[in-house]
Structure formats: structure tokens, C-alpha cells
């Protein structure tokens, strides 16, 4: 097994998957956090109703990941707040309520806006949610519960 791990560590050199090797006896798989995705059921998306009904150009939205247990230990909960335009927050809300086909021009624009902005945000990537908006069986959908406390 040791020789296989040494060989694998060499084969993965220069990739995003790194096997750390300490004296050819201790091995550790090191994964960049941006490459780890968690079950979307652990996440929630919240926008305050007062902000949605307000007149501010940009409003805070909160993406929260619940804590959970693994065989290796507990992953702590984490929340991040992002500033989105009021218009985009409303469009995401619409996407969460209605089903839009993948050829719907408005839904495609929402998806594009998401992919060009929030989806590339390092704090968003570090939460471990693969995607907030995705295509599934011919529809574009908002994958989380959209709450407005």
C-alpha cells in the first residue's frame, strides 16, 4: 500500500489534488476547500422582507450552511452575507417560486447574472454549495429555500 501511495502522490503532483507525504510513512490528502461541495439541504438563503420591500439599490442576503457530523469530526455551521441588487434579489425570488424553462429569456439572464457575480465570489465558494441556480430536466431553478424573515 505504501508504494502505491507514493506512486499516486507523484502522479497527482501539479494537480488540485495533493497527497502530502511525510517520510514515506504518513500520507494526507489535501483538498482545496473550493473543491469540496456539501449537500444542498444543509443550506438556506434569507433576505429580510423589509429589505425586499425597501428602496435600497443593494440589499444584504445571507447564505447559511448548517453544521453536520462526519466520520472525521464536526463541520461547523457558517454564514456569509452578500450585497445583491434589489432587482436581482427579486429575480432570484421569482426563480424560487416559478418554474422557468431553459429557453426562457428572463431565466437565462438570471442564471447569467448569478454565474458572473455571486457564483465567482470566494466567500460563496468557501461555503461548499455547488450552485445556487442550476438547470435540471429542462428548467432553470433556484436550488435552496428562499426565506424572507
What does the DSSP 8-state code read for residue 16? S
- DSSP bridge partners of 101: 139
Q: How far is CA 96 from CA 17, 26, 28, 139, 144, in A?
A: 35, 47, 40, 12, 8
Euclidean distance between CA atoms 38 and 102, whole angstroms = 25
Domain borders along the chain are 2-31, 33-147
pTM passes above 0.75: yes
Return the pLDDT at 33. Answer: 65
Angle at 129 (CA atoms; ends 12, 56), nearest 5 degrees? 135
Per-residue pLDDT of the chain (149 residues; tens, 9 = 90+): 788 888 888 888 888 777 888 888 888 877 776 678 899 999 999 999 999 999 999 999 999 999 998 876 888 999 999 999 999 999 999 999 998 999 999 999 999 999 999 999 999 998 999 999 999 999 999 999 999 88
Place of cell 431553459: 102
Return the pLDDT at 121. Answer: 93
What does the DSSP 8-state code read for residue 11? H
Q: Under a CB-based contact definition with an 8 Å cutoff, are residues 123 and 34 in contact?
A: no
Amino acid at each position: 500500500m505504501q508504494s502505491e501511495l507514493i506512486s499516486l502522490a507523484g502522479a497527482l503532483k501539479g494537480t488540485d489534488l495533493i497527497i502530502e507525504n511525510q517520510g514515506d510513512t504518513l500520507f494526507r490528502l489535501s483538498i482545496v476547500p473550493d473543491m469540496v461541495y456539501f449537500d444542498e439541504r444543509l443550506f438556506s438563503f434569507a433576505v429580510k422582507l423589509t429589505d425586499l420591500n425597501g428602496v435600497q439599490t443593494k440589499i444584504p442576503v445571507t447564505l447559511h450552511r448548517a453544521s453536520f457530523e462526519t466520520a472525521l469530526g464536526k463541520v461547523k455551521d457558517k454564514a456569509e452575507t452578500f450585497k445583491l441588487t434589489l432587482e436581482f434579489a427579486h429575480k432570484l425570488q421569482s426563480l424560487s417560486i416559478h418554474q422557468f424553462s431553459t429557453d426562457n429569456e428572463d431565466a437565462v439572464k438570471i442564471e447569467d447574472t448569478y454565474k458572473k457575480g455571486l457564483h465567482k465570489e470566494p466567500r460563496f465558494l468557501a461555503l461548499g454549495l455547488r450552485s445556487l441556480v442550476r438547470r435540471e430536466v429542462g428548467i432553470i431553478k433556484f436550488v435552496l429555500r428562499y426565506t424572507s424573515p
